[in-house]
Every structure is written in structure tokens, then in C-alpha cells.
Structure 1
Amino acid sequence: MEPPTTKIWTLVWHDEFDGDTFDRSKWDFDLGNGFYDDRVHGWVPGWGNDELPYYTSEPENVQVRDSSVFIRAVQAPLHGCGYTSARLKTQARDGRVLFAKRDGRVEFRARMRWGKGLWPALWMLPADDH
């Protein structure tokens, strides 16, 4: 009987969040509270999920420190929304894909708070998704 083979993984992308800012070649922010959907020719408020925050890149909502990302929802009115928070993605606002991988192994570590009205999430969406 042959010994089992061990799959060798090749690291193709990583971010250890060293320093105190985001690597803008890897990350960008969704700003606002929705998007224009060309398929339906209309505005989709709340990103299609009825999300309440207005997303910003402000330090009050998102910071890099101690090799971690901290995202904070704040009860603060902005542009008709009662809250602010942050949304990061690996696609630039101009549509450029900063990172996409079809196959492979993905690892991340996250600690998220829970409570009424909170919906912390990490999503893996296709590159052509809003």
C-alpha cells in the first residue's frame, strides 16, 4: 500500500494587516448605501439586503491596528441612514478586480460580535457581483 500523498498548497495572496493602513492594491471600500443595477435600470438601496448603515472609510468605522481590521457600526445619521459602518472588498470602485481566484483553499481568522440588529459577515462573492 502506498503512503497517502500530501497536497502542497501554494500561497497566492495574503494580507497580515501590518502597519496602520490598508494595502490599497488589495482592498477598497464600498461607500454609500446601495448601488445602481444596470440589469433592472434602478437603484438598489441597502445593497439588496435592506442594510441600514451608510458605509464609509472613516477611521470611526474602520481601522487597521495590531495586525487586525476593526470594523465598527456607529449610531450616527448620515445621508438618510441612521448608522455608519464599513464594507471592504477586493474589487476597486472603478470595477478593477484586485484579487479573484477560482479554485483553491481560503483561510481567514475572524472574531465577530453578535447581538440584536448585528449582521457581521465575511462573503466570498463572484468578481462580477456588486
Structure 2
Amino acid sequence: MGTLYSTTVNAVGGRNGTVQSTDGLLDLGLAMPSGLGGKGGATNPEQLFAAGYAACFGNAVIHITRNKEQKIKDDDVEVAATVGLVPNGSGGFTLTVALDVTLVGIDQPTAEAIVAEAHKVCPYSNATRGNIDVVLGVKTR
């Protein structure tokens, strides 16, 4: 099977530069977070990664319930992705990730099973597996 979708984003200037997709839909200034000694005031790579992971994981939840009795609709899933940056002890850095998933209208055991299954199919989860520990939290309302 071939590639289903591909995109290209160009970054200029590192953490204090800009990012722009080749189709022009993404066009953002970047700034080093004040928590890392920067000026802040603009987005940063960790926020962009968290946004992408949260949206992708939410869609994975919706996707895996399409053929189930209890379907999760777009408005019934919320994912809060927390991405951290920590020293790796070798002069570099690694990411930490926590996904807090809230599902509406189902019981807790079913919600936990759905989230576990979504974690197996989400492209971001598959890309990080074995590289970054991802902590999953699940709640219902």
C-alpha cells in the first residue's frame, strides 16, 4: 500500500524562527519558551507536537469505534496532550508525553479498552513506541 498522505513543513531559524507548510496553511512564528530562558510569546515545537498528537489520538479513538456498538462521535472525545522536554543525561534531550483522554457517554472499563486499542493504531503512538514513554489517562463523563 502506498502513502495515504504526505506533507512538508519548512523550518527556518530553529526555535526562534518560523514554520511554514508548502501549501501555506501553516505559517507560524516560533519562540523559545520562557521556561527555557527564551522570550516566549509564540508557539514552540513541543506545543505543535502536543497539538498533532492530541488531534491524531482523538481521531484514532473515533476510528476504532466505527464498527463497534458504542461509537464515539467527534464531540464525544477530548484529548489533552502534555509534552515535556527533559535532559537525557548524554547532553541531549528527550520528550515526555501524557495523554489525558475524556470520553462522553460510556462506562469507565469500555473507555479504557477503547483508549488502549486507539494507542495501538494511532500513528503518533506507533512513531513514539519504544522511544518515548506515553502515559495514558482515561476518564468518562
Using the size of structure 2 for normalisation, the TM-score is 0.28
Higher relative contact order (CA 8 A, sep 6+): 1
More helix by share: 2
